Amino acid sequence: MKRIAVLTSGGDAPGMNAAVRAVVEQGIHHGLEVYGVYYGYRGLVEGDFRLLTLSDVHHNIRRGGTMLYSARYPEFKHKEYQEKAISQLEKFGIDALVVIGGDGSFAGALSLSKLGFPAVGIPGTIDNDIPGTEYTIGFDSAVSVALDAIDKISDTAASHNRTFVVEVMGRHAGDIAIWAGVAAGADAIIIPEEEFLIEDVVRRTEAGRSAGKDYSLVVLAEGAMDVDNFVEQFQVLAPDQSVRGVTLSHIQRGGTPTARDRVFATLMGARSVDLLIEGQKAIYLGVREEQLTVFDIVETLEKTEHQVRQDLFQLNQKLTDRGN
C-alpha cells in the first residue's frame, strides 16, 4: 500500500479534524502518502483530491468544523456515482479510503467495499446515532455546548420563575437531549424513542415548583417534536406558567472539540490506517465500554439499531417524578 485518502461527509462534528490529523500522521509514519478528499463524496466523484502534509493538519487538532469541508450528496446512493468515485481513486493511485461521518457516510463506505474498494469508517456525528458504537466523535462536544447554553438559560429562567423548553439536535436520536438533560437536572427530557404526554410534563414542572424549584426546564430532542408546537400546547395546559421555547440549532455543531472527542478521534484515526495496512475493509471503528472496537459494517449496520441510554433516561424520569 502506497497511498490512502481520507474524507469527511455529512454534518460536520467537532473532532473530525483531530481524526484527519491522526490519519495523516499515522499514514506518514508508515511511509504512505495521504490525500484529503474535499467536500466528501461529491469531491470523491469529482476528483477533488489534495496531498496532505503535517503542516496542513497539525494545528487543526483543536479546531471545530472540518478542514476537508463536507457536503450532503444523496447521489452517492447510485452505483454509477460509486463507480465514478472508484475510477477517480484509481486515477490517483489510491489504495484505500478512510471515511469520517455518520450513518449515511458509512452506507457510502459499505457500497465502495462491496464494489471491492477497501474503506474503513470512523464515526463522526454529533448525534451519537450509529449502531454498535456507544460513542461518536463530536457528541461530547455538542453535549458540552448544549449544556453551557442550558445553564445560561437557567439563570434567566430562575430570575423570572419561568419554564424553558430547549430544543436540541440529534436528528432521530435522543442522545444529546438525554445527556444534556441529565447534566442540567431537567424536569423532563423528551426523546423520539419514548412516547410522552405533555400533561405529564406539565405535572412534573408543577410538582417541581411545589417542591421549591424556582424555574422549570424541559429538554426536547428535535426528533420528538417541534419546540413551537410543544410550547403552544404546554401553555394551553399550564396557563399560569410563563413559558419560553429556545432552539439551540447549529451552535451545537461548532466550537472547540472536547478532550474526549480529540482523544478518541486520534485513537480512531491512527487505528484506521493500521487496519487498512493489515488489509481490512468494510469495517468501522467505535467504542464499547470505553475501549476502541472494530465493527463489521455489513453485519452491524444491517442488523443492529442504535440504542439510547435508557438507564439515564429512566433515572431522570424517576428523579423528577415528585408525585402530585
Q: Rule CB under 6 A: which residues touch ligand F6P?
A: 11, 102, 125-127, 169-171, 222, 253
Strands 291-296, 283-288: pairing kind: antiparallel
Q: Which residues contact 311 (CB under 8 A, 6 or more apart)?
A: none
The answer to whether 250 is a known ligand-binding residue is: yes
Q: Quick one: 180 or 273, whose CB is closer to ligand F6P?
A: 180
Residue closer to ligand F6P (CB basis): 27 or 174: 174
CB of 145 to ligand F6P, least distance (A): 12
Amino acid at 256: T
Looking at the chain, how many residues does it have? 324
CB of 173 to ligand F6P, least distance (A): 8
Nearer to ligand F6P, 118 or 181 (CB): 181
Q: What are phi and psi of 219, to 5 degrees?
A: -105, 120
Pick the catalytic residue from 12, 127, 129, 175.
127
Name the minimum Å distance from CB 48 to ligand F6P: 20
The minimum distance between CB 219 and ligand F6P, in angstroms, equals 14
Measured distance CA(237)–CA(44) in Å, rounded: 52
142 with 132: CB under 8 angstroms? no
Pick 220 or 275: Cβ nearer ligand F6P: 220
User: Is 244 marked as a binding-site residue?
Assistant: yes
Sign (positive/negative) of CA torsion 122, 124, 125, 127? positive
Residue 127 appears among annotated catalytic residues = yes
- DSSP for 164-210, written as a single string: EEEEE--TT--HHHHHHHHHHT-SEEE-TTS---HHHHHHHHHHHHH
Binding site: what residues are annotated? 11, 72-73, 102-105, 125-127, 162, 169-171, 185-187, 213-215, 222, 244, 250-253
Which residues carry a binding-site annotation for ADP? Answer: 185-187, 213-215
Q: Which residues are catalytic?
A: 127
